[in-house]
Chains A and B, each alone.
Chain A
Amino acid sequence: MNTPDMNERVTRRNLLRNLGLGVAAFTARPLNRVMAAAGEPLHQPPTEFTLPPLPYADNALEPHLDARTMEIHYGKHHQAYVNSLNAALKGHANLLSKPIEQLLKNLNDVPEKLRTPVRNFGGGHYNHVFYWNCMKANGGGEPAGDLAKAIKKKFGSVIAFKQLFSATATRHFGSGWGWLVKNRKGDLAVVSTPNQDCPLSHGQIPLLTVDVWEHAYYLHYQNRRSDFVAAWWNVVNWDAVAAEFGRQ
């Protein structure tokens, strides 16, 4: 069925692609500018953060990530972070018009009173956009090219990397995220962050992430986080990870 909503989604995605904006575009404010282009002048600065469209249908990641989980995760949790971020920054046009990456990279430049909301809600916004774009229908498989080389060089093999990443994500205590990042020295590293803390705030460049808040998997996997992480590998969009790796 070709609903107006679906048309709109496809159009926005094509717009991004045509503009040569890769995965990063979804994470950045340029998205808002693109969205504004539909009906408003392009040069108008964004006045608030918006929820970008999910880059696939709710059920696209079945059976690994079920449609209901995706629908609530994206439509409720992610939307709530966007709403809370806008509410917290209301009246601060200078912050609302900045790319979210920039705010998270330079948390100390954010006025002290707004730092926690930016870290929590801004992190929640950025991390979820990044997460959606790390996945795709019929994903999984193995990384290729320079990314695969770098992973093998750092972790010995792709299997060893996957084991370390899975263990780090599974053992992370409480709400948080598992990440593959590039650190300041340009080395790959596997880390976890609590709650909505973002590697950008620690000088690291995110390449791949898995959400291990219980809301990411509880409806389908309940307490079995390790089963969720094992299934999640089947939806990883390695092209997107490689694009991030190449871009940085």
Chain B
Amino acid sequence: MTHQLPKLPYAQDALEPHIDAVTVGIHHGKHHQTYVDNLNKLMPGTEFADATLEQIVLKAQGPIFNNAAQVWNHTFYWEGMKPNGGGEPKGELLAAIEKSFSNFAGFKEQLSKMSVTQFGSGWGWLVLKKDGVLAVVQTGNAANPMTAGDVPLLTCDVWEHAYYLKYQNRRADYVTSWWNTINWDAVAARLNAAKKK
């Protein structure tokens, strides 16, 4: 099957001023698109030619994994944000966060730390562990928590391309601003879906 670049779920400038339109445009239109294109070039003739994106992420290695996981991770990243996002989660999600991290502020601090301290390219994540507890993790390059059996709920892209035009070396400032874009309804829906599985 041919993989497609999902449409950005909002306008390129929808996350301003936290994430600028030029960054979003290049990030989605060039970086994300390139991962899709590379994946489609690598697929033919492999055991993954007819696999879903998630199956590839779970089973592949090397360049096929790298490109497939980057396609998946970026789509997940875009869908975790929205214009006028941020604020605090509610209901079951908030309860789950408070149970696992003592309180929302503590969780924010821990996920920020994971994102800021990931050395080199990578991602910070909120995940649901097998035992039902929420946790924050960091992964390098394209790595995705699903391969460790965790269910991703929210991610922050900390490849330098995600923030360099606006924030340069100040990754911590980008992560602080990123919180203002979170689509908590999307995160809550992910938790819900995971619990039904």
Contact with B along A181-225 (1 / 0, CB 8 A): 000000000000011100000000000000001110011001100
CB of A186, distance to nearest CB on chain B (Å): 31
Which residue of the partner chain B has the closest CB to A72? B168
List B contacts of A141 (CB < 8 A).
none
Which residue of the partner chain A has the closest CB to B121? A174
CB of B31, distance to nearest CB on chain A (Å): 6
Chain B interface residue number, banded:
20 to 34
Contact with B along A49-63 (1 / 0, CB 8 A): 000000000000000
A214 touches B164 (CB 8 A): yes
Partner of A223, one of B26, B66, B140, B168: B26
Contact with A along B20-35 (1 / 0, CB 8 A): 0000001000110010
Partner of B160, one of A80, A173, A218: A218
Chain A interface residue number, banded:
10 to 19
Most buried by B among A72, A77, A195, A222: A222
Q: Is A154 among interface residues, defined by CB-CB distance under 8 A? A: no
Which residue of the partner chain A has the closest CB to B22? A222
Residues of A within 8 A of B (CB): 72, 76-77, 80, 120, 173-176, 194-196, 213-215, 218-219, 222-223
- Can you list 18 A-B pairs with a CB-CB distance of less than 8 A? A72-B169, A80-B169, A173-B141, A174-B141, A175-B121, A195-B140, A196-B119, A196-B120, A213-B120, A213-B160, A214-B161, A214-B164, A215-B160, A215-B168, A215-B169, A219-B165, A222-B30, A223-B26
Residues of B within 8 A of A (CB): 26, 30-31, 34, 63, 66, 119-122, 140-142, 159-161, 164-165, 168-169
